[in-house]
Amino acid sequence: MEYYNQVFDPSSEVPDSWTNQTFEQCTFKNLDLTDAVLIQSNFINCRFENCDLTKVPFKNARLDDVSFADCKLNSVDFGLCNPFGFHANFRNCQLNNTVFLNRKLKKARFIECSLKSAQFLKCDLAGTQFKECNFDSARFEDNTLTQVDFSSSYNLELDPDTNRVKKARFSLHNLPGLLTKHDLVIIS
């Protein structure tokens, strides 16, 4: 079934099944979707506001120009999403223990997000902005981080030898996390 330009919230009727659905220009507000199965669904130019999507399976789901604001997306594997047209932005979201594997996230925006223990593996993050994000125990491996802005984020650890970091922006307080593998003692 296809849904166009609809708002789904606790006072509205929500789909009986979230699988194999197409949502275009829809808004999802204040929903607990932790039991939803979003397998093979399409979300095109949609917005999620204050929703709980913890551990939601997005297997083969298409996320094309989707924004998440004030959402919980803990333990979501975005690497299982359909790679075609994948583009998502996040504002004030919990993305702890999430996985981004082989994702093209060029010029994505992560604003004031918690990315504790998140994994970015083999992603193209060129031009992405991470503004005031918490990267405690996050893992970055084999990524393109060209022109990524990490300058206001914190608890960042990544190895510049295993990621392409040309013209990436870091602040002075990020430097210890870039030198972790060298086991240096840095005094400020």
Name, in order, each residue with C-beta under 8 angstroms of 16's C-beta and a sequence gap of 6 or more: none
Neighbouring-strand partners of residue 8: 28
CA nearest neighbour of 15 among 36, 34, 32? 36
| Topology classification of domain 95-188 | Pectate Lyase C-like (2.160.20)
Alpha carbon distance 24, 43 (integer Å): 6
For 34-93, what is each residue's pLDDT tens digit? 999 999 999 999 999 999 999 999 999 999 999 999 999 999 999 999 999 899 999 999
d(Cα 135, Cα 67) in Å, to the nearest integer?
20
* Integer Cα distance of 174 and 188 in angstroms: 12
Higher pLDDT: 180 or 162? It is: 162
Per residue in 8-40, pLDDT (tens digit) is: 999 998 888 899 999 999 999 999 999 999 999
Q: Which fold has domain 1-86?
A: Pectate Lyase C-like (2.160.20)
Q: Which two tokens stand for residue 37?
A: 């199965």
The length of the chain, given as a count of residues: 188
Q: Fill in the DSSP letter of residue 30.
A: S
Burial class of 129 by CB neighbour count within 10 A (0 to 12, 13 to 18, 19+): buried
Domains of the chain by residue range: 1-86, 95-188
Q: Of residues 183 and 99, which shows the higher confidence score? A: 99
Assess whether the region 1-86 and the region 95-188 belong to the same CATH fold. yes
Tell whether pTM > 0.95.
Answer: no
Give residues with Cβ within 8 angstroms of 182, minimum separation 6: none
- Mean pLDDT of all residues in the chain? 92
